[in-house]
A and B are shown apart, each in its own frame.
Chain A
Amino acid sequence: MEKAEKKLKLSTNSNSTLLPISSLYTFILHTICGLGLALAYWVAHNVYSVSLVNDPTQTLRLIWVIEAPIVILLFSGFRQHPNQCSYIKAVGRGLLGLPAGAIVNALGAIALGAPVGIQHFSKTANWSILMSVFTIVPTASVFGSSWIEWRRIFAHAKPNGPIDLLICLPAHGAVIGAWFGAWPMPLDWERPWQEWPICVSFGAMAGYMVGIVASFSISLFQKHLKKE
């Protein structure tokens, strides 16, 4: 699977600008992002037989370990100005973005009320790395340190083109999903999944998936409009 991805990427590397991509191609891109997450969850569940509820730390780590390379390798292929920036450099930017984004996400979660303490550290760390994979890493790989593009994607949420959509919508979806996922936490149902960060992770992953579906449908729709 990884090889196939690389081939896909190599084929796009030769293009110098962000170009119109075919519907099939958009579909494959979106599917890889979505399937990556599904695969990670499946591996955690069936190969290592851990689940988010039993062992959130381990599961989150497994998920991001599988999902991060997929995302970094995939999005590095769509880096901006491919002529001035090598594929390796884009991968490096993505790798740098991973811990940086994790710190941003962790700080955000703590400001919103995530528990602080040594016993929560590993859970928070793994969760925020996963969130970083969803939100910061793709942008870092594609746009590097271009302040204007970052602001366009995150502050203004104005994506143009399928790649922008694929960066922007799932990232926002993950954040909004995580936000809603926090709602059951204060309820007194005494269910194990109400613990930090289990339901928040569920929310984030669900939001990410919704974002991918939305991004795919919007990019199809836009293409349809353009044709007309």
Chain B
Amino acid sequence: MSTLTCTKLTLLTLAAVVIQIIGLSLFVLGFFPVKPALSGVSGPESFTSPVCPSAEDHNFTIQSPDELKSLYLELSNISPSYDRLILMVVDGLPAEFVLGRDDRPAPEIFRKSMPYTQSLLDRGVATGYHAKAAPPTVTMPRLKAMVSGSVGGFLDVALNFNTQELLDDNLIGQFFKIGWKMVMLGDETWLKLFPRSFTRHDGVHSFFVKDTVQVDHNVSRHLDAELLMIDWKLLILHYLGLDHVGHTGGRNSVLMGPKLEEMDEVIKKIHRSMVQNKHGRTLLMLVSDHGMTENGNHGGASYEEADALMLLIGLRDYDRRPSTHKTVNQVDITPTLALLFGVPIPINSAGILIADTLKSLEAAQQLRALELNTWQLFRLLQAQLPDLSCSSSCGVDKDGPGNDIGECDGNTEEIFCCLYIKAADLHKAWKSCQVLGSNKVEDYRSTVLAYNDFLRTASEWLSRRATNKPVGLLAFGLTGMILSSLILLSLLYQLEQDVCMIKEDRTSHFSSRMHKWHMDEIFVMAIVCFLVLSMGSSSLIEEEQYIWHFMTSTLYFLLLRKAVQSISSVNTQDQGNFMERQIKRRFIQMSSIIFVLISGRILRGWHQGGVNWTNFPDISKWLESEGTAYIKPVQLVSLLLLTTSGFYALSFLRPSKRFVIVVGLSFLFPAILVLQYIINYQSSGVPASSNNATLLVQIIYATLGTTTFGIVVAVPWFMPVRNPKGCSSHHYNVLHVGIADSLYLIGLVYIICWGLLQLLLQQPINSAPILLLLVQILASMCSSSNSDPEPKQWVEVAVVYYLGMAGHFALGNTNTIATIDVAGAYMGVSSHSTVLSGILMFMITYAAPMLALLSMLINLSRRSKISLVNAQDVDLHFLLKTTLAYPCLVPLGLNSIFLVAYTTILLLMRNHLFVWSVFSPKYMYVCATTACIYIGVLIVASTVFYTYSTLGLRKMWIR
């Protein structure tokens, strides 16, 4: 039977990790495409051609809003058709309710509910469009698409996690720049997106889905007053009620009819006031952000969900052909509104102008509008296709139109270039004809057609590019992750076989090779299955803290049961002294398990966590409401107990007393510094940012760093090599005891220093959980070292790993990005540095898993002692394989399973309603956990290698 050698094991593990990293990065790149977008906002330069830099060099200085407005007017040559805009958003209204589907009219019941709107449509006063929405069909991304015209990705949501403000160029910003006064009534999402833009606003929550009446009443109550006001230029009304009706009762809810009637009343009121018209020409645009399924849900890409409405009421020159309803894209709203109201088209808009809306303008102005839209899209294309320049067409005056009209083909750049040149040439020719006064309708038509050709091709290409997921990349990434997971798991399996074999050789068991599985071992595996299954449910992801706590506690109950089982084996061997020792061991084992259970429950109760029940009472809320007078003592006691328990654990290292005292004293110093910081600076609950505080924190970082590093480097060299009784002359064993002691000491130093660092970094309220976690891990180690028969090492490692994950949530972390502690990330950072803050943020968030990983060294030390006792002649390779392999492979293997499972789930859920709000943030956390495990395992492995090689050197010298 082939056994794994140490080298082979290491190489294979490394290979698996590398494959995993590659696979993960490929997947992330594929799933969250970073779209190359233009930065900045469109300004006056957008009225110049992107291809041929114009001769006159416009030097635009910063101007007042009014100047800017007139400048835009002058540059664009398009006279604005309207003075004011009313944007009425009816959340979740499917276009089918108003316009019908395909050629069928809207269902009778809905037609009857909206008599006024239908009459407007019939008379041709209103023009209706199906405005196709792109997934995710959820309010906020849809609003962004409507005002900025861009098709968003996830990363731009995730990467600015503190602000939901829309920073991209958008219509509201453009209007704001030309000095428009704007009013917003309705969904407060608008206020999150544009916190400073509105002169007056009244935001309503979309939180209580059951409320279908009050949300809309709160919008309409201001309507009469606002319609009489003359100061605003843009009035946004966002009605949420219809979406709520859908969520509670579906499309055919009994409340749907009355709700539509209510909306119809609003439209009637607005239209009447528009007709009376005292404040200039007003355009009413009725849009919905998305549709809904039969059950009233939305988020996906089905026709029902994507079928949003756009209704233009009050167009000046409407034709009287009702009921042919065109389909446009939702992003087309952006350039249309921009051109209608005389502002530059937002820079990243992928939409195309809806030509019908400009019918009232002269032909020249209509062509100019098309030209401006073309230029804007061309610039955007240039950002994505750097080779697109078309500069060859500049300066060369073509003889006239039609000389090179033909099919455009070639690569993407050539096609776009060809289409662009064709349209530009036709336009130029048309203009020169206009000067001569010999305009032909055909020429105009062909120019419009050529422009539309370009616009349509460009827009389609852009939006396909933004939403398309490169299947090959995703599949390749996933395959890589699966492959690495398989490698890790098969390594674990092989290792387990080897270890079993060795054990049998040694103890010469005549029992069958078939190992009897214990409950705890089965359950460790079952936890993996339960977690993987639970990942499929969005609410279980939101409330993951429950699952980890539930699973870990159950596992400890099973361990308790196993401990009770093993008492019986003691009873049968009636040997006074031996039995007494056994009973004592059982007692220690059981009491430490019970301690882990109790502290686990306290940790669970410390932060309620999650998303849905965050407002439930918990210990941290109670402490915070009592004020700092309660928190500070808790903090001080935690620090004291943490240091004490560190000393206590050190005292187990009996034979080298003096050495231990030196080590203990060396981290007493940072502990005192942390104490000083807590007393002096954390009184107000928020970390102080004075220079002294920053300096002190920096000193603490330096001391903790040097102490840890110094001890880790020095311990293997100076660890007294004690002589165990009986085999004093045996160099091997003597040194191996040295190894075990050094690892124990280093492991303890690691976790105590990590704990001290966390006491400093974490919010004051989290100091007690840090202490509890640390003691919990120590108690867990204690229970497994006192159990008979010796538990399998992979079970021990897995148990500690689970404790770490449960602790991660006990520190108040959730799977939403909102709970990342940003305040702590600036502690001791004197100048703004994204990298440093990022590292600190990572350390704060992954305090618990890292603590668990670092504590593996203590487990390792005990294991090497055990294999010493059992072994007759052990070499370092064997020792490394039997001790180090599990603490590295088990976390990597477990994490690889979660990674693969979650990646698959994310792929399956890519059209789910919550893909952006729940599944994608969770994926970020999964990735970060993976990174955390790499780092932890790396630290553990390198420490062990260092210790072994140092003691190996010492062995050579002793010889």
Contacts and interface: CB of A to CB of B under 8 A. Distances in A.
B329 to A, nearest CB: 33
A186 B540 contact: yes
Given A151-B568, A155-B565, A179-B554, A110 B547 contact: no
Given A111-B600, A113-B601, A155 B568 contact: yes
Nearest to B544: A186
Given A111-B601, A113-B546, A113-B550, A188 B539 contact: yes
B564 A187 contact: no
A112 interface: yes
A166 to B, nearest CB: 21
A137 to B, nearest CB: 20
Given A185-B546, A186-B539, A112 B568 contact: no
Contacts of A188: 539, 542-543, 612
A117 B554 CA distance: 22
A186 B601 contact: no
B598 A111 contact: yes
A77 B91 CA distance: 68
B568 A113 contact: no
Nearest to B571: A148
Interface in B911-934: none
Nearest to B209: A190
A72 to B, nearest CB: 25
The range of chain B's interface size is 20 to 34
B561 interface: yes
A146 to B, nearest CB: 13
A169 interface: no
Nearest to B617: A117
A186 B565 contact: no
B199 interface: no
Interface in B807-856: none
A74 B567 CA distance: 31
Contacts of A112: 549-550, 553-554, 557
A110 B550 contact: no
A182 interface: yes
Contacts of B564: 151, 154-155
A155 B598 CA distance: 21
A47 interface: no
Contact of A187 (B539, B549, B565, B600): B539
Nearest to B568: A151
A1 interface: no
A189 B543 CA distance: 13
B597 interface: yes
Mostly helix, strand, loop or mixed at chain B's interface? helix
A151 B567 contact: yes
B799 to A, nearest CB: 16
Contact of A186 (B543, B597, B598): B543
A110 B549 CA distance: 12
Nearest to A187: B539
Nearest to B601: A111
Contacts of B238: none
Contacts of A111: 553, 557, 597-598, 600-601
Nearest to B542: A188
B561 A155 contact: yes
A206 B605 CA distance: 29
Interface in A98-128: 108, 110-113, 116-117
A188 B913 CA distance: 15
B557 A108 contact: yes
A54 B358 CA distance: 62
A191 interface: no
B870 to A, nearest CB: 28
B360 interface: no
B604 interface: yes
A117 B618 CA distance: 11
Interface string A131-172: 000000000000000001001001110000000000000000
Mostly helix, strand, loop or mixed at chain A's interface? loop
Contacts of A189: 539
B537 interface: yes
Contacts of A182: 550
Interface residues of A, number: 19
B875 to A, nearest CB: 40
A228 B568 CA distance: 34
A113 B618 CA distance: 13
Contacts of A155: 561, 564-565, 568
A112 to B, nearest CB: 5
Nearest to A188: B539
B586 to A, nearest CB: 12
Interface in B596-623: 597-598, 600-601, 604-605, 610, 612, 617
A76 B658 CA distance: 63
B549 A113 contact: yes
Contacts of B597: 111
Contacts of A179: 554
A110 B604 CA distance: 11
Nearest to A117: B617
Interface in A183-197: 185-189
A182 to B, nearest CB: 7
Contacts of B600: 111
A112 B568 CA distance: 26
Given A113-B550, A155-B568, A187 B601 contact: no
A182 B553 CA distance: 13
Interface string A80-112: 000000000000000000000000000010111
A115 to B, nearest CB: 8
A214 B597 CA distance: 31
Given A151-B567, A186-B543, A113 B553 contact: yes
Interface string B526-569: 00000000000101101100110110011001000100110110
Nearest to B560: A155
B554 A186 contact: no
A196 B816 CA distance: 25
Contacts of B568: 148, 151, 155-156
Contacts of B561: 154-155
Contacts of B610: 186
Nearest to A185: B546
B553 A186 contact: no
A148 B547 CA distance: 34
Contacts of B567: 151
A154 B568 CA distance: 13
B186 to A, nearest CB: 25
A188 B613 CA distance: 10
Contacts of B543: 186-188
Contacts of A148: 568
Contacts of A110: 601
A111 B597 CA distance: 6
A149 to B, nearest CB: 11
Given A185-B546, A186-B547, A116 B605 contact: yes
B604 A113 contact: yes
A156 B537 CA distance: 35
Contacts of B546: 113, 185-186
A210 B561 CA distance: 23
Contacts of B547: 186
Contacts of B553: 111-113
Contacts of A116: 605
Q: Which of A116, A182, A187 has the most CB of B within 10 A?
A: A187
12 contacts: A108-B557, A110-B601, A111-B557, A113-B550, A113-B601, A116-B605, A151-B568, A155-B565, A186-B543, A186-B546, A187-B537, A187-B543
Interface of B: 537, 539-540, 542-543, 546-547, 549-550, 553-554, 557, 561, 564-565, 567-568, 597-598, 600-601, 604-605, 610, 612, 617
The 5 closest A-B pairs by CB, nearest first: A186-B543, A188-B539, A155-B564, A186-B546, A155-B565
Given A108-B557, A113-B550, A151-B565, 14 more contacts: A111-B553, A111-B601, A113-B546, A117-B617, A148-B568, A151-B564, A151-B567, A155-B561, A155-B565, A182-B550, A187-B537, A187-B540, A188-B539, A189-B539
